Amino acid sequence: MQKKVVQKKSSRKPSAQKKQRADEHKYAASNKLPERFLVSDLCDLLGQYMAQDQVREVYRAYLFGAQAHEGQLRVSGEPYIYHPVAVARILAQMHMDVKSITASILHDVLEDTPATRKLIATEFGEDIAMMVDGVSKLMNIKFKNKIEQQAENIQKVLLAMAQDIRVIMIKLADRLHNMRTLKALRPDKRRRIAQETLDIYIPIANRLGMNSIRHELEDLVFLAMYPNRYAVLEHAVNQASGNRKEVIEKINHALAARLVELSIEAQLISRKKHLYSIYNKMRSKHLSFNQVLDVYAFRVLVNSVDECYRVLGVVHNLFKPIPGRFKDYIAIPKGNGYQSLHTALYGPHGIPMELQVRTREMNRFAESGIAAHWLYKSPDEKGAIDAHARARDWLTGILEMQQSAGNSIEFLENVKVDLFHDEVYVYTPEGDIVKLPRHATPVDFAYAVHTDIGNHCVAAKLDHSFAPLNTPLHSGQTVEVVTSPNSRPNAAWLNYVVTVKARSNIRSFLKNMQADEAMSQGRRLLERCLKPLGLRLDDVPESNIQLALEDYGFHKLPQLLEDVGMGNRPPSIVVRRLVPERIADGHSEETCEMKSRSPLAISGTEGMVVSYARCCRPIPGDQIVANLSKGRGIVIHRQSCKNLGSRSKRNDKYIEVQWANDAAGEFSSDIRLEVENKPGVLARTATILSEAGVDIENVEMQDRDGFSISLLYQIKVRDRTHLAKLMRRLRRIPSVMRIIRL
């Protein structure tokens, strides 16, 4: 992105507008700049689809911007106002509305001039002020590094986009013009801006279906990052295109003649692949230039969907199709709404060629994407409405990411993961289609259907057969999720989920789980202490609670409960502050303290948050020991756990504890079954556990030697006796060769 160079600042009156335009023409003539930079050219373009009063409003914004940017030059040496006018022209070519054009002319005013948001709102309205503010960078905040600054700025743009999607369209046009004029910057800066464009803005353009902008940005990125490779490839493409002109004409003639015979009105376009696409295919598939360029690209535009499929039949009769290369994006559109039929064929002399068939309406939306919402507003242009709705759905997901992300860097990484993916299409048991990224798992599917289904997922069936939760999904599969009300997300899921919704929800749940457990523990401790006084926490007057919160420096009761549950504040002291009149009436604090020490699940852990180690999964009946852990309270391990190491070396970190006599509840335990590799063995073992009333938290299947497999179950049991009974029942299955507790 080019920076401004400030020569001088001086006051300027709107009456000097004629001199400003004369200077522009003089500068353009002397420097051989194209006319597109001039405001007169912009106004002529706007006049083709806008009312004159709207054009005058845009020109008023130009005068405001020209005065604000007076004396500022870009690094290339041209007046700075040329950049906003060029950005406005890019949007005008997409027939964007008057507010978008106005905001694009003013988009750098807040960032680079003394003008304020309030002034822009007063002059041009709140909508335009919001868009300008959304595009502007955060300039008055100190950041630790460039990565944090980039993350915060992109987060700001995306959240502003959620309010008005035109913000990102202005930002894309701004980035496109900056990339067009990138040559004036230092090589290292060119590469950094190009990389940011490749990571963020190109995927966003793709998600919004704006393919014309995406393709140009890709080629400009290629030029900035690898100028020598770009030059070599460009020369080779130009040379090859001339040599193959005869073959292209032969294909065009054959297609056109056949379509005329069938009375199909069609437009044939032979197109040249853009350079970045060729380079990317060469690099990813390890192909030579000749291998890639041997695939010719043609596009056929027709009037209806029915004609699309008729044309497909025609070309498959004329030329032999290449197996496995047909894709129907009309029946199942891409995530950004793109629709077309894609096929690959052997052309004359056996040369491969690619063919796309789509309607003219589909072609407009393929090029303009979300911009078609403003460009085509007739009732018949439903595709634009659909594109806008899809963009809104995506923006809703962006807001969910922002709410669950810990910071701006995590948010940016989530956005990158969400933007880069190929899609698979799977079915619910009811036959509904669910789109997921490539390598998605049943856990991703569960969260895509509903967050609660994901949070309570315990197993999955693929095409009516049980499969591990980490199994990658493939298009066409039917996915059924098995849930349990007592299950919750597993940290191990983060190792294989790929969707941002699944990842952010799992992280959020695990992050909040400790706080929730601490609050529950704090409430239990206070309730036990209040019981001898004949009270419950709900009986304490609200005024007393507010006074206690003020004394302890908290704003809400859950904060106090969490503090008590973490062991930071004795419950007896808190109760004394909550109901001082009851303590004064003769209820001794000592009695309250003794009552609060009634056994919990683990004896000796009262007043502390207790968690159970995932490495050894202790359950009642095991010999246990507690390990002090900062921020987690105490963590219960089995005494035989290898992760404890030598306890004699760190005695200060261990506490001797034992299970309470009345310990109740369900505890996680891991078991491994080595079974014969026979059909139905997974379903049989799962059925035994289900019939015993056991909740299956997770199941994984590992192939051993082809003749046997390992089934890893994470289940909920009451104690060692309960687990032993389950293992005995599983051993009775003929296919089970061995069963052990992990």
- 8 Å CB contact between 537 and 526: yes
pLDDT tens, residue by residue, 559-575: 788 777 765 666 777 88
Of 220-229, 390-399, 494-503, 573-582, where does the model show the most confidence? 220-229
Q: What is the rounded distance in angstroms from the CA atom of residue 529 to the CA atom of residue 523?
A: 10
CA distances to 188, 241, 467, 496, 742 from 458, rounded to whole Å, are: 50, 57, 11, 15, 19
pLDDT score, position 221: 92
Catalytic residue status for 112: yes
pLDDT score, position 105: 92
Q: What is the rounded distance in angstroms from the CA atom of residue 181 to the CA atom of residue 653?
A: 62
| Chain centre to alpha carbon of residue 382 | 27
Residue 720 has pLDDT above 80, yes or no: yes
Q: At which residue do the structure tokens 């009333």 appear?
A: 693
CA distances to 461, 581, 682 from 467, rounded to whole Å, are: 6, 61, 8
pLDDT score, position 650: 46
Q: Following DSSP, what letter does each residue of 300-313 receive, concatenated?
A: EEESSHHHHHHHHH
Token pair, residue 481, equals 């999720």
pLDDT tens, residue by residue, 612-642: 787 888 888 888 887 766 555 677 888 888 7
* Average pLDDT score over residue span 229-249: 78
Q: At which residue do the structure tokens 């908290």 appear?
A: 554
DSSP reduced 3-state for 616: coil
**Catalytic pick from 24, 108, 112, 218?**
112
Cβ neighbours, 10 Å, residue 415: 24
Q: What is the rounded distance in angstroms from the CA atom of residue 237 to the CA atom of residue 708?
A: 54
Residue 170, classified by CB atoms within 10 Å of its CB into exposed (0-12), middle (13-18) or buried (19+), is buried
pLDDT score, position 31: 42
DSSP reduced 3-state for 657: coil
Catalytic residue status for 216: no
Domains detected in the chain:
4-224 (1.10.3210.10), 231-375 (3.30.460.10), 508-598 (no CATH), 610-659 (no CATH), 667-741 (3.30.70.260)
* Average pLDDT score over residue span 182-204: 85
Residue 220 has pLDDT above 90, yes or no: yes
pLDDT tens, residue by residue, 584-596: 554 444 444 433 3
Q: In degrees rounded to 5, what are phi and psi of residue 152?
A: -65, -45
The length of the chain is 742
Is this prediction's pTM over 0.75? no
Output DSSP code: residue 288.
-
| 721 — pLDDT class (breaks 50, 70, 90) | confident
Least confident of 186-200, 230-244, 303-317, 721-735: 230-244
- 8 Å CB contact between 533 and 527: no
Residue 32 has pLDDT above 90, yes or no: no
pLDDT tens, residue by residue, 115-159: 888 899 899 988 888 888 877 754 443 444 455 555 566 665 556
pLDDT tens, residue by residue, 14-23: 444 444 444 4
Terminal alpha carbon distance of the chain: 56
**Which positions ≥6 away from 181 have C-beta within 8 Å?**
2, 74, 76, 83
Q: Please write down the long-range contacts of 565-569, taking CB distance under 8 Å and 24 or more positions apart.
A: 565/517, 565/518, 565/519, 565/520, 565/521, 565/522, 565/523, 565/525, 565/609, 566/518, 566/522, 566/608, 566/609, 566/633, 567/607, 567/608, 567/609, 567/633
Q: What is the rounded distance in angstroms from the CA atom of residue 222 to the CA atom of residue 274?
A: 11
pLDDT tens, residue by residue, 256-275: 888 888 888 888 887 777 88
Cβ neighbours, 10 Å, residue 160: 22
Of 88-102, 352-366, 524-538, where does the model show the most confidence? 88-102
Closest CA to 239 of 302, 290, 309: 290
**Catalytic pick from 111, 400, 480, 700?**
111
Q: Following DSSP, what letter does each residue of 396-413 receive, concatenated?
A: HHHHHHHHH-SSHHHHHH
**Angle (nearest 5°) at CA 16 between 11 and 18:** 155
- 8 Å CB contact between 560 and 548: yes
Q: Please write down the long-range contacts of 328-333, taking CB distance under 8 Å and 24 or more positions apart.
A: 330/305, 330/358, 330/362, 332/425, 332/433
Q: Which residues of 223-233 are buried (b: 16+ CB within 10 A; e: fewer)?
A: bbbbeeebeeb
CA distances to 128, 224, 329, 555, 735 from 549, rounded to whole Å, are: 44, 59, 59, 6, 61
Q: At which residue do the structure tokens 């490779």 appear?
A: 229
- 8 Å CB contact between 694 and 726: yes
Residue 474 has pLDDT above 50, yes or no: yes
Mean pLDDT (the chain) is: 75
